[in-house]
A and B are shown apart, each in its own frame.
Chain A
Amino acid sequence: MSVHLRSLRILAGKRALVSQVSLHILPGQITVLVGASGSGKTLTARSLLGLVHGIEPGIVAADLEIQDGEVIHRPYAAVDRERAFVPVRGPLIAWLPQNPRAALDPLQAVGAQIRDCLKLSGQNTGLDVAPEPWLERVSLAKSVGRLYPHQLSGGMAQRVGIALALARGSRFLIVDEPTTGLDPSLRAGILEELKRARDSGVGLLLITHDLRLVRQLGDHLLVMDRGCIVEDRPAQDLSAMQSAQAQALWQATLRLEARQ
């Protein structure tokens, strides 16, 4: 099973926010999407779920293909796109948004939200809708289940977000800047979590500013700049990147590391 997005174009009025973006997510691999702020990373990610609203008039043209053996699902080609995205959102692709605290229902306890997610995924019919194992899986105490989102620290909220995404049991996971604002040990913990998900066969799309992540766990690298993909290559040898923008980003990362 794999996800292929081809020639994505998002227009706001006559201005193209994203143009000619293509990417592939494969099971058991981490595709890293890197780019400056405002380069269209999040929009690209949301277009995989058909959730690009709030942009007026928000014209989206894309060829999204989700291939499962012989079966090919093309939600953007469907007449009723909303309906065509129903099997995609959740069962196939889950999304961990940039600000995980805002992504949690502010007036519902964390445990209840995980339980809802488990019920939704249907993989635990009957007995096993307990949120505790999922909290432990992301190294949170069982008692966190009783807390409300405003009582969580940033790192806890991030890990609850990951627990929710894992509990949903999706085949692919889009993770939007998961390590922003976290200290190194938490960061390492979350990366560990993502690796574990990859090793269990989940395909990941990781969105970040941080090229160092690519070295640590990337399989494939995409660099976006002003709505276009400027670099599309395996994540092994980053110094050989072709485009000026990607090189600039890479040099900046090296300078930062040298200073640290």
Chain B
Amino acid sequence: MSALRPWAGVALLLLPVLIWVLSLAANYDVIADVDVSRASLAPSVDHWLGCDHLGRDVLWRLITASESFVGPSLFACVVALVIGVPAGALSGWLGGLPASLTRFGLTTVASLPRFVLVLLVCAAFGNSVQLIALAAGVAYAPTLAEAIYARIQSFRHRGFVLAGQAHGLRSGRILWLHLLWVNHRRLILRHCVQLFAYFLLLETTLSYIGGLDGAGSFGVAQPDPSWGNMIAFEWREPQANIWATLAPGLATALVLLGATWTGRSLIEEQA
């Protein structure tokens, strides 16, 4: 079982990405698909997960909701990589005052709770998923940078770095190829997986809160589907089709589980 866990993790993690591609390809109009005559319909052959209390197909909303987090969370990963990798690598490699200054900046950002930071950005600049993704990426970058910094710092005076220099390898090649690519890619990938999961949780949480207050002031607002607002939209309905709340909740849990398993399998034993 434990041998299968990494593969199960990757499969669970790739599932939303596949669904996202499917959703983009199908381009199904979930907003127009309202039919009150099938309100709270139980699962059937026509509607595999039934319908919600407005008579909207739950499966299609579940699929389309992937658009509200997969793309943005990949964007968040890119933002975190673009900031975190050079900052961590260069400060770990160069040391001295530039490193101290960079790390001071990073720790300042890291000292704000991420969730609060994201809420602040939403409050100040408006509430779009792309903006949330940008904020999440920026908020996560210090964690990535610190992890890379700590390892580069400890690798910098190792024998093989010195030996590489003695063989005439340029510093740039040692840093980017031997240190970052060969020795840090798993670490970086693990942080990306973690950020992916973090963003899913963040978007679901915000959309859930936004869905509860009805005004849609946080996250993705109805009628656009998100796993968070799907739960918020249905769970207080007396005659609800239970799959309309259960399915997005289960989907969220499974993807997070996949991310945890994948992340764990990427932790390498310390050399």
CA distance A124 to B251 in the complex (A): 54
Is B236 in contact with chain A by the CB < 8 A criterion?
no
Is A243 in contact with chain B by the CB < 8 A criterion?
no
Q: Is the CB of B168 within 8 A of A120?
A: yes
Residues in A90-119 with C-beta less than 8 Å from chain B:
90-91, 93-95, 97, 99, 102-108, 117
Which among A46, A54, A90, A150 is the interface contact of B167 at CB below 8 angstroms?
Answer: A90
Most buried by A among B157, B158, B159: B159
Which residues of chain B have a CB within 8 Å of any CB of chain A?
157-160, 162-170, 178, 182-183, 271
CA distance A104 to B163 in the complex (A): 8
Known: A105-B183, A107-B183. A89 touches B167 (CB 8 A): yes
Which among B158, B159, B162, B167 is the interface contact of A117 at CB below 8 angstroms?
Answer: B167
**Contacts A/B (CB < 8 Å), 14 sampled:** A49-B165, A49-B166, A86-B168, A89-B166, A90-B166, A91-B168, A95-B167, A97-B159, A97-B163, A103-B160, A106-B271, A107-B271, A117-B167, A168-B168
What count of chain A residues pass the 8 Å CB interface test? 26
Q: Is the CB of A90 within 8 A of B168?
A: yes
CA distance A102 to B160 in the complex (A): 6
CA distance A53 to B158 in the complex (A): 12
For A46, list chain B residues within 8 Å (CB). Answer: 162
CA distance A199 to B166 in the complex (A): 23
Give chain B nearest CB distance to A119 CB in angstroms.
11
For B165, list chain A residues within 8 Å (CB). Answer: 49, 51, 89
Is A8 in contact with chain B by the CB < 8 A criterion?
no
Which among B158, B167, B168, B178 is the interface contact of A108 at CB below 8 angstroms?
Answer: B178
Q: Is the CB of A103 within 8 A of B162?
A: yes
CA distance A120 to B157 in the complex (A): 22
CA distance A145 to B166 in the complex (A): 22
Of all chain A residues, which has the CB nearest B155?
A: A106
Known: A108-B178, A108-B182, A150-B271. A103 touches B169 (CB 8 A): no
Most buried by B among A104, A106, A150, A164: A106
Across the A-B interface, the 5 shortest Cβ-Cβ residue pairs: A90-B168, A102-B159, A95-B166, A103-B163, A103-B159
Of all chain B residues, which has the CB nearest A161?
A: B163
Of all chain B residues, which has the CB nearest A45?
A: B166
Most buried by B among A46, A51, A94, A107: A107
Give chain A nearest CB distance to B18 CB in angstroms.
30
Task: Please name 8 further chain A to chain B contacts, defined as beta carbons within 8 Å, in addition to the given A94-B166, A97-B163, A120-B169, sorted by A numbering.
Answer: A49-B165, A53-B157, A90-B169, A93-B166, A97-B162, A102-B159, A103-B162, A105-B183
For A107, list chain B residues within 8 Å (CB). Answer: 182-183, 271
For B169, list chain A residues within 8 Å (CB). Answer: 90, 120
CA distance A251 to B159 in the complex (A): 34
Q: Is the CB of B167 within 8 A of A99?
A: no
For B166, list chain A residues within 8 Å (CB). Answer: 49, 51, 89-90, 93-95, 97
For A89, list chain B residues within 8 Å (CB). Answer: 165-168
For B160, list chain A residues within 8 Å (CB). Answer: 102-106
Give chain B nearest CB distance to A156 CB in angstroms.
16
For B167, list chain A residues within 8 Å (CB). Answer: 89-90, 94-95, 117, 120, 164, 168
For A53, list chain B residues within 8 Å (CB). Answer: 157
Which among B158, B178, B183 is the interface contact of A102 at CB below 8 angstroms?
Answer: B158
Known: A90-B168, A106-B183, A108-B178. A95 touches B163 (CB 8 A): yes
Give chain A nearest CB distance to B175 CB in angstroms.
13
Give chain A nearest CB distance to B179 CB in angstroms.
9
For A104, list chain B residues within 8 Å (CB). Answer: 160, 163
CA distance A107 to B165 in the complex (A): 17
Give chain A nearest CB distance to B267 CB in angstroms.
14
CA distance A53 to B161 in the complex (A): 12
For B168, list chain A residues within 8 Å (CB). Answer: 86, 89-91, 120, 168
Most buried by A among B162, B167, B169, B178: B167
For A95, list chain B residues within 8 Å (CB). Answer: 163, 166-167
Q: Is the CB of A54 within 8 A of B271?
A: no
CA distance A102 to B158 in the complex (A): 7
Q: Is the CB of B183 within 8 A of A99?
A: no
Most buried by A among B166, B178, B183: B166
For A108, list chain B residues within 8 Å (CB). Answer: 178, 182
Of all chain B residues, which has the CB nearest A165?
A: B167
CA distance A82 to B151 in the complex (A): 24
Give chain B nearest CB distance to A96 CB in angstroms.
8
